[in-house]
């Protein structure tokens, strides 16, 4: 295993190359595709940096909503699958009307806002901050 460059540095280097050298040298559809490729690399970099922590936070919030206190599983893919299962449980309760009124509704809405913000921080941080609060 090598110490440097790490995965984030490699992604950033390729993204910077695309943005600074490739995109300006292209036009039309090819330029658009190069911009998309650079954006994908930026998303992957943020996913590597923020994804596991966001999943763990979502796991904890879902546990509080669903009344379960188990420790999150190890490994990002296992954790992601476990979070999906908890989200399915939450969806069942929402469809049953459990979140239509009362304090649990406010808790669900808080969870959904937090989860949406965390996902936007990865997908496109510019959209994670509501306009007027920059």
- Full-model pTM: 0.84
pLDDT in 10s for each residue of the chain, 134 residues: 568 899 999 999 999 999 999 999 999 999 999 999 999 999 999 999 999 999 999 999 999 999 998 899 999 999 999 999 999 999 999 999 999 999 999 999 999 999 999 999 999 999 887 664 44
Q: What is d(CA 111, CA 22) in angstroms, rounded to the nearest whole number?
A: 41
Residue 14 counted as domain residue = yes
Residue 92 counted as domain residue = yes
Q: What is d(CA 52, CA 1) in angstroms, rounded to the nearest whole number?
A: 21
Residue 2 counted as domain residue = no
Residue 48 counted as domain residue = yes
Residue 133 counted as domain residue = no
Residue 119 counted as domain residue = yes
Q: What is d(CA 53, CA 68) in angstroms, rounded to the nearest whole number?
A: 19
Residue 132 counted as domain residue = no
Range of the structural domain that residue 65 is part of: 7-127
Residue 106 counted as domain residue = yes
Whether 30 contacts 55, CB under 8 Å: no
Q: In total, how many domains does the chain have? A: 1
Whether 45 contacts 72, CB under 8 Å: no
How many other CB atoms are found less than 10 A from the CB of residue 126? 8
């Amino acid at each position: 295993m090598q110490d440097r460059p790490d995965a984030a540095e490699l992604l950033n280097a390729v993204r910077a190359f695309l943005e600074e050298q490739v995109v300006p040298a292209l036009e039309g559809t090819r330029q658009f595709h190069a911009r998309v490729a650079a954006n994908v690399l930026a998303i992957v970099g943020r996913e590597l940096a923020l994804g596991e922590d966001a999943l763990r936070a979502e796991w904890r919030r879902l546990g509080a909503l669903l009344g379960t206190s188990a420790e999150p599983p190890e490994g990002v893919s296992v954790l992601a699958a476990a979070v999906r299962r908890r989200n399915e449980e939450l969806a069942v309760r929402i469809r049953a009307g459990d979140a239509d009124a009362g304090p649990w509704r406010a808790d669900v809405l808080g969870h959904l806002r937090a989860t949406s913000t965390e996902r936007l921080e990865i997908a496109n941080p510019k959209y994670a901050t509501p306009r007027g609060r920059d």
